[in-house]
Amino acid sequence: MTLEVHVVTPEREVWTGRAQMLVARGVDGEVGILAGHAPMLVQLAIGPLRVHREGGELLSAVVDGGFLHIGTHEGVTRADVLATQAELAAEIDVDEARRVLAELEGRRAELEETELEALKVEVQKAQARVKLAG
């Protein structure tokens, strides 16, 4: 059997290819997908996405939520990562991600409690990028 992975956002196709395994972070924890996996739907959390490609190469990305859909058709297992936003590790500007993280963390003191929740989400996104790329 084959595992085919498609990572897409509303703006673009981030990556498509064959893999041995896909590891994603769902809201309930990490999930690993191999060829032949049962159909399922996972709500994604902000965090890393690891694609273990055929031949042993590791492709890493970060996703900012969305869904992972697994289906099988004619012996091919297809994993569709439908992300709100996603970046491959090689695309991440680590210096910019660190700058954004520092700016966001500096704004905590000046925000009202109702605004803090939105800030926490943005901080999580920046932290995920810094951790993955750097």
**Tokens in use for 60?**
């890493």
**Tokens in use for 96?**
């910019």
Among 34, 2, 38, 1, which residue's Cα sits nearest to residue 17? Answer: 2
Residue 124 CB neighbours (<10 A): 17
Protein fold of 2-90? ATP Synthase; domain 1 (2.60.15)
pLDDT tens, residue by residue, 23-68? 999 999 999 999 999 999 999 999 999 999 988 899 999 999 999 9
- Average pLDDT value over all residues in the chain: 91
Helices 113-133 and 94-107 cross at an angle (nearest 10°) of 160
* Half-sphere exposure (Cβ direction) of 132: Cα atoms closer than 13 Å: 27
pTM: 0.85
